[in-house]
Amino acid sequence: ITTGIIFHFKNMEEDSDTTCQIINELDDKGSIIKETRILGEDENNWAITEYDYDTYGNMVSKDIQSREGIYST
């Protein structure tokens, strides 16, 4: 069985000077497994969130990585 990752891109204007780009990677069940957020044109202003799910589809962990470090819940 081959599974694929689906990418979903979204650009939003925070205000007239700032655009936020959100890239979601979805698993074959449609759950977000990775979200990348880039705020503005500064490529150093980013955050990556990775999600893990149990066999029932319930989120069991979330890791947020940014320049400041990695935070887990």
The region, left, alpha or beta by phi > 0 then psi within -120 to 50, assigned to residue 40 is left
Instruction: Say what the pLDDT of residue 1 is.
Output: 40
- DSSP codes, 9-56: EEEEEEETTEEEEEEEEE-TTS-EEEEEEEETT-TTSEEEEEEEE-TT
Spell out a b/e string for 1-28, using b for 16 or more CB atoms within 10 Å of the CB, else e: eeeeeeeeeeeeeeeeeeeeeeebbbbe
Q: Quick: pLDDT tens for 25-66.
A: 998 888 999 999 888 777 788 899 999 999 999 999 999 999
Residue with tokens 């066999």: 55
Instruction: Say what the pLDDT of residue 18 is.
Output: 64
